[in-house]
Amino acid sequence: GVPKTIDNDVGGTDVTFGFDTALNIATEAIDRLHTTAEAHHRVMVLELMGRDAGFITLHAGLAGGADVILIPEIDFRFDRICEKITERADAGRHFSIIAAAEGAHPLGEQQVFARAGDEITAARLGGICQVVGNRIAEETGMETRVTVLGHLQRGGSPSAFDRWLATRYGAAAVRLAAEGKHGQMVSLRSTSMADVSLAEALAVPKRVDLAGDAVLTARGLGICLGD
């Protein structure tokens, strides 16, 4: 097997292919929103994919210079978000960028669903950015706009890194098959190819490490994570 998902939430590997492409698209969206946010003194809330894992949102938020990053792994508080936005306005920065994963949710509340599930169709997440945007407008009085990037994150030409990574994964998977190693998944550990059992890879879905470098970097830069 090969680890393929834009969410980067497969265990047993440092990175899945598809993640870097989605990350680039999300980062470009944040870059573009900066222009209109600053020009019109608006709070821009961007909803990104990530049901249970916030890798896209966290990394794109860091790369794009978001002021608030909301991920499923950290229950957020509206007062913390509004404090950050007000703090920026008081300092003369009358605009803010919020990157929110679709699976992010307020402290003590459930995830927001655009469609309830039934015996035929699965529930579909969506709408957290509208909830956040409405609350910010009510609490701060600032003009707020919401953007849902949606399936743009999942299509188009893959990034150079994803092409390179998928090629390496494919070659490694062929080698495993030729050696008769079944029930295995190829993975990237640091810069080297490795393989792990599918059982190990699927046992525990990967989540953002709240004590890891990315979260510590965000906090060190003064980015609000909502907690």
195: its two tokens: 């393989």
**Annotation marks residue 7 as catalytic:** yes
Catalytic residue among 7, 9, 52, 67: 7
Burial class (CB in 10 A: 0-12, 13-18, 19+), 21: buried
Give the torsion through C-alpha atoms of 82, 86, 89, 95, to 10 deg: 0
How many other C-beta atoms can be found within 10 angstroms of the C-beta atom of residue 27?
20
How many other C-beta atoms can be found within 10 angstroms of the C-beta atom of residue 75?
15
For every residue of 156-187, DSSP letters joined together read: SSPPHHHHHHHHHHHHHHHHHHHTT--SEEEE
**Active site positions, annotated:** 7
